[in-house]
């Protein structure tokens, strides 16, 4: 068995079609449909497990340091519409931080943040963002409600960001999209200028995964949400210390 690393998706697909490769991964959604319809190929969909790939919100940077604003952003995004428009329904939708299939996944909280743009508007007004300027963006104390989003260049990252940008505009939020270099270090740093960033962390171990990603000891390095809570810290620590009864 020989493994060859081909970074470009088009080159991987070409290697499969011309017989240079017998198995490839990370194919585009368009190629999924084409290969599924071709009896010469078998397509296996294997979702990754860990923390969902999605727009992680920075809880330490204004205006997303306000929980009402964070909740509004989540309620304003129609995940199903994005899945159909960009991924043709092939990608599993993220309903919470962890992916389905991870141990201790709790499906009881899947409906905590449904798509509800009217509720999003209500939350923003409750947070004091009641004025609307000539461009249709919300304003408070002379400041436009604006979020900076970090992502990278790819067919699975840019299109969703553009759709979300449009959805946020509908509730009066301005979203700027940037493509920073040294990506992970930049968005995780303590002085990150980004309110949201496309991130994902994959591991079958939810205890270690959640601890590294949300414990306050990881602020400025691995804490992807820039979130600090003594209560959450205690729960994460207890999760690592509690033995498996099985």
Q: How far apart are CA 127 and CA 140, in angstroms?
A: 9
pLDDT tens string 33-88: 889 999 999 999 887 888 888 999 999 999 999 999 999 999 999 999 999 999 98
Rounded Cα–Cα distance for residues 19 and 54 (Å)? 35
Q: What is the pLDDT of residue 90?
A: 87
> Would the pLDDT of 172 be above 70?
yes
What is the reported pTM?
A: 0.88
Distance CA 246, CA 88 (A): 40
- Res 65: pLDDT: 97
pLDDT band at 25 (very low <50, low <70, confident <90, very high): confident
| DSSP assignment letter at 35 | H
d(CA 87, CA 32): 10
- Name the average pLDDT for the chain: 92
pLDDT digits (tens, 9 = 90+) for 115-162: 999 999 999 999 999 999 999 999 999 999 999 999 998 878 999 999
Q: What is the mean pLDDT of residues 175-192?
A: 93
User: Per-residue pLDDT for 111 more than 70?
Assistant: yes
- For residue 244, name the pLDDT band (cuts at 50, 70, 90): low
Residue 88 has φ and ψ, to the nearest 5°, of 55, 30
Residue 78, SS3 per DSSP: coil
Q: Which two tokens stand for residue 243?
A: 């033995």
Are 173 and 145 within 8 A, CB to CB? yes
Q: How many Cα atoms within 13 Å fall on the side-chain side of residue 129?
A: 25
CA 109 to chain centre: 17
Under the banding of pLDDT at 50, 70 and 90, the label for residue 245 is low
> Which of 92 and 60 is assigned the larger pLDDT?
60
Assess contact for 211 and 205: CB atoms under 8 A: no
């Amino acid at each position: 068995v020989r493994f060859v690393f081909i970074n470009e998706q088009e080159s991987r697909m070409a290697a499969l079609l011309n017989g240079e490769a017998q198995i490839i991964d990370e194919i585009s959604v368009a190629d999924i449909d084409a290969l599924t319809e071709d009896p010469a190929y078998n397509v296996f969909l294997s979702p990754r497990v860990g923390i969902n790939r999605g727009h992680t919100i920075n809880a330490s940077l204004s205006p997303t340091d306000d929980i009402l604003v964070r909740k509004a952003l989540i309620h304003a995004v129609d995940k199903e519409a994005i899945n159909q428009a960009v991924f043709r329904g092939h990608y599993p939708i993220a309903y919470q931080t962890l992916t389905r299939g991870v141990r201790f996944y709790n499906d009881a909280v899947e409906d905590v943040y449904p798509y509800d743009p009217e509720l999003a508007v209500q939350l923003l007004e409750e947070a004091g963002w009641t004025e609307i300027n000539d461009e249709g963006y919300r304003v408070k104390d002379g400041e436009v409600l604006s979020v900076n989003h970090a992502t990278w260049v790819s067919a699975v990252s840019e299109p969703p960001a553009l759709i979300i940008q449009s959805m946020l505009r509908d509730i009066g939020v301005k979203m700027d999209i940037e493509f920073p270099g040294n990506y992970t270090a930049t968005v995780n740093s303590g002085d990150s200028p980004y309110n949201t960033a496309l991130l994902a962390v994959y591991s079958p171990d939810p205890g270690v995964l959640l601890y590294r990603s949300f414990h306050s000891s990881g602020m400025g390095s691995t804490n992807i949400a820039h979130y600090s809570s003594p209560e959450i810290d205690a729960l994460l620590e207890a999760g690592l210390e509690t033995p498996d009864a099985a």
